[in-house]
Chains A and B, each alone.
Chain A
């Protein structure tokens, strides 16, 4: 057994050393990592000869912070969400990324203008836009279909259980939008004491019908089992269930809360130059558009949007399923990392106290 393992590691080592150089990319795992391997890693290795090793973590920011603080960084590129990117950057734990090294759009628009607002920062380059949306089981509502985020909170008009993420983040914003606050004003309202009260009051109005989910895998399972009629969920999972698995699940884009995932390079990355090359390559127009073939998260570059093609099944047009599609953005909220970095401990404590009572 042991011998076989040594042999096999030796074999893989040989396989990798064929590529002169190699970098390690840390991401979130599952279908998401698969989409990155297909759209970024493989073409990158084909073009540059630099091998890419993929590592997964529950939230890559935690091991990243530990590695940098311990001066023992073993990964080169890390995929993190916006608030972690900002926080880690402000704390000096990330390498700066000069936007000038990023390739321009095919029509020559510089990268700084090609990326969606907020997708580029000092130390981070956005790759996808993912979104928390409401989704419902069509078979549960044979007559009138829910249309808006307000319908999610209206259990008399649309009876049935609901499920939401057990976290203050996105839940409070959706409660306010469900209460009629326009997306553009949500964070102004939530920054006041009355706004927080209002959000909790809205949640309280359906508390008896709510199931709280913890892992992103749960809401789709809850819908599939008929445990709930409507749930909040990551849009990518709802899409996969509806298209690949033919489930009657329908997304409601009204009141979606979207956020970026970004590539960052930890301070002290062992292969800094190759890491920069990888980030520049992966966030180019074409690779970002290609990623949509594997998962329904929107590219962070404007120029990628028209290039988004068919899903891997070869027949589903991906563009309308992107959180960033024009039609889906009419009442959409970009998650504010500034707000959450300031308030996460406070509101999370309050949320947990509220849940318990």
Chain B
């Protein structure tokens, strides 16, 4: 619409004027910038609200993914030595003296655990080295090299020093590398994590794959329902709507439990099949604690998120359009495909977006009904937040997830974007 008006004004610049004598182009420009301002002002309150109550706090949280001063703040002298020397420098007596002093200081300040934990993230098995040496650090006498090595010979390990050099800076890309199964070796080169520990890339793939599959299923199941509800008379459709809304209010935990009752080996579905003789008692179908269970339960939980947007877009579509198409000779399939379907695209777009994004984030249901394959990326994020308390890695994983979803959203907007939809 905006383009059309500029096109009109373009061929005869400066000629046309408004009633009060101003050049039309300037007046239009003013009107347009006023319209832009007005549109922006409508969005502004929410934008401010979200930026203040969400983007800032989450930004601070995600900042942890690149910033962890657990080592540098509590081991200041050794960090300084790392800053002063070239990578690969053999630790000399100065380095060991700094290490001994820092260990003693950290042990007294009760921050030795933070230091050990930070190094342990990069090099498993080292946390106890720090805490146990910290307890002995009070008695260290020069020469410090011998004293430290006597406390524990593991301090002579060059890769430990390489790791400490990496973590001596508060800002490091290591957590992001770890979140995509990469690591830095002693020389600082980026290498892949050992084969048996590569898990995050696989989990990201699996998460997106399952979410995509569930989105497709929800669309296939939701479209007929939404269409039926939108075309039935209100008094019938409102009653049927209850069937959509009831599962929707019901707690996630209740619905997940309920699916276990239905689908398990001794569950309602299997029992009914056995009772009716469709399958034998020995051949009960394994429908839960595997991918099937996850997909069934998740589709059920997310289906209303597809039906409701579809319904709210379909309801106002006048049935006369399809009738007109039919009267002009279109088959019912053609009328549906060429006339009805295009008008429902915004609803499909909104529903698919909701279901996909929610599907990426839900992890409790897959964890409870998904068996061995039920672990998704959010489970590991929760694990690192709640159990290993490695908040930096959790933040890095969350940031990667956020970025991946936003990129997908951008692509999606580009491909089926709401801007490009031509209606009518």
Task: Digitize B340-351: 1 where CB-to-A-CB distance is under 8 Å, 0 elsewhere.
Answer: 000000000000
Asked if B303 is at the interface of the complex by the 8 Å CB criterion, the answer is no
User: Using a CB-CB cutoff of 8 Å, which residues 66-97 of chain A contact chain B?
Assistant: 84, 86-87, 89-92
Asked if A5 is at the interface of the complex by the 8 Å CB criterion, the answer is no
Residue in contact with A343 in the complex, picked from B111, B124, B203, B387, CB distance below 8 Å:
B124
Task: Assess the A355–B127 pair: CB atoms within 8 A.
Answer: no
User: Using a CB-CB cutoff of 8 Å, which residues 111-125 of chain B contact chain A?
Assistant: 111-114, 116-117, 120-121, 124-125
Interface window among B23-31, B194-202, B398-406? B194-202
Task: Assess the A355–B372 pair: CB atoms within 8 A.
Answer: yes
Residue in contact with B121 in the complex, picked from A91, A212, A345, CB distance below 8 Å:
A345
- Complex Cα–Cα for A91 and B391 (A): 14
Task: Assess the B128–A338 pair: CB atoms within 8 A.
Answer: yes
Asked if B265 is at the interface of the complex by the 8 Å CB criterion, the answer is yes
User: Using a CB-CB cutoff of 8 Å, which residues 366-389 of chain B contact chain A?
Assistant: 367-368, 371-375, 380, 383-389
Q: Which residues of A contact B34 (CB under 8 A)?
A: none
Asked if B266 is at the interface of the complex by the 8 Å CB criterion, the answer is yes
Task: Digitize B177-209: 1 where CB-to-A-CB distance is under 8 Å, 0 elsewhere.
Answer: 000000000000000000011110011001000
Asked if B390 is at the interface of the complex by the 8 Å CB criterion, the answer is yes
- Complex Cα–Cα for A89 and B388 (A): 15
- Complex Cα–Cα for A248 and B178 (A): 47
Task: Digitize A342-355: 1 where CB-to-B-CB distance is under 8 Å, 0 elsewhere.
Answer: 11111011101111
Task: Assess the A349–B131 pair: CB atoms within 8 A.
Answer: no
Task: Assess the B127–A349 pair: CB atoms within 8 A.
Answer: no
**Min distance, Cβ A198 to any Cβ of chain B, angstroms:** 14
Task: Assess the A90–B131 pair: CB atoms within 8 A.
Answer: yes
Interface window among A25-33, A57-65, A272-280? A57-65
* Closest partner residue, chain A, to B124 (CB atom): A346
Asked if A218 is at the interface of the complex by the 8 Å CB criterion, the answer is yes
Task: Assess the A342–B127 pair: CB atoms within 8 A.
Answer: yes
Q: Which residues of A contact B386 (CB under 8 A)?
A: 58-59, 61-62
Q: Which residues of B contact A353 (CB under 8 A)?
A: 196-199, 202
**Min distance, Cβ B286 to any Cβ of chain A, angstroms:** 10
Asked if A15 is at the interface of the complex by the 8 Å CB criterion, the answer is no
Asked if B126 is at the interface of the complex by the 8 Å CB criterion, the answer is yes
Q: Which residues of A contact B2 (CB under 8 A)?
A: none
Q: Which residues of A contact B267 (CB under 8 A)?
A: 225
Task: Assess the B112–A87 pair: CB atoms within 8 A.
Answer: no
**Min distance, Cβ B360 to any Cβ of chain A, angstroms:** 17
* Closest partner residue, chain B, to A169 (CB atom): B387
Asked if A6 is at the interface of the complex by the 8 Å CB criterion, the answer is no
Residues A344 and B368 in contact in the complex (CB < 8 Å), given A91-B114, A92-B110, A226-B266: no
Task: Digitize B122-157: 1 where CB-to-A-CB distance is under 8 Å, 0 elsewhere.
Answer: 001111100100000000000000000000000000
Chain A contact residues, majority secondary structure? helix
Q: Which residues of B contact A346 (CB under 8 A)?
A: 124-125, 197
Interface size class of B (residues with CB under 8 A): 35 or more
* Closest partner residue, chain B, to A347 (CB atom): B124
Asked if B176 is at the interface of the complex by the 8 Å CB criterion, the answer is no
Asked if A341 is at the interface of the complex by the 8 Å CB criterion, the answer is yes
Task: Assess the B385–A62 pair: CB atoms within 8 A.
Answer: yes
Task: Assess the B109–A92 pair: CB atoms within 8 A.
Answer: yes
Task: Assess the A227–B264 pair: CB atoms within 8 A.
Answer: yes
**Min distance, Cβ B383 to any Cβ of chain A, angstroms:** 7
Residue in contact with A344 in the complex, picked from B266, B373, B374, B388, CB distance below 8 Å:
B388
Task: Assess the B289–A211 pair: CB atoms within 8 A.
Answer: yes
Task: Assess the A345–B388 pair: CB atoms within 8 A.
Answer: yes
Asked if B97 is at the interface of the complex by the 8 Å CB criterion, the answer is no
Residue in contact with A355 in the complex, picked from B131, B368, B373, CB distance below 8 Å:
B373
Q: Which residues of B contact A91 (CB under 8 A)?
A: 110-111, 113-114, 117
- Complex Cα–Cα for A306 and B375 (A): 44
Asked if A210 is at the interface of the complex by the 8 Å CB criterion, the answer is yes
Asked if A215 is at the interface of the complex by the 8 Å CB criterion, the answer is yes
Residue in contact with B390 in the complex, picked from A92, A338, A345, A355, CB distance below 8 Å:
A345
Asked if B393 is at the interface of the complex by the 8 Å CB criterion, the answer is yes
Residues A90 and B202 in contact in the complex (CB < 8 Å), given A342-B127, A346-B124, A355-B373: no
Asked if A214 is at the interface of the complex by the 8 Å CB criterion, the answer is yes
User: Using a CB-CB cutoff of 8 Å, which residues 306-347 of chain A contact chain B?
Assistant: 338, 341-346
Residues A356 and B289 in contact in the complex (CB < 8 Å), given A90-B116, A91-B114, A342-B126: no
Q: Which residues of A contact B126 (CB under 8 A)?
A: 342
Residues A92 and B111 in contact in the complex (CB < 8 Å), given A212-B289, A215-B368, A227-B265: yes
Of the A-B pairs whose beta carbons lie under 8 Å apart in the complex, a sample of 11, sorted by A's number, is: A61-B389, A62-B389, A90-B114, A91-B117, A92-B114, A214-B374, A343-B124, A344-B388, A345-B384, A345-B388, A353-B196
List chain B positions with a Cβ less than 8 A from chain A.
Answer: 109-114, 116-117, 120-121, 124-128, 131, 196-199, 202-203, 206, 260, 264-267, 289, 367-368, 371-375, 380, 383-390, 393
List chain A positions with a Cβ less than 8 A from chain B.
Answer: 58-59, 61-62, 65, 84, 86-87, 89-92, 166, 191, 207, 210-212, 214-215, 218, 221, 225-227, 338, 341-346, 348-350, 352-356
For the complex of A and B, the 7 pairs showing the least CB-CB separation, nearest first, are: A90-B113, A92-B110, A346-B124, A353-B199, A91-B113, A214-B367, A355-B372
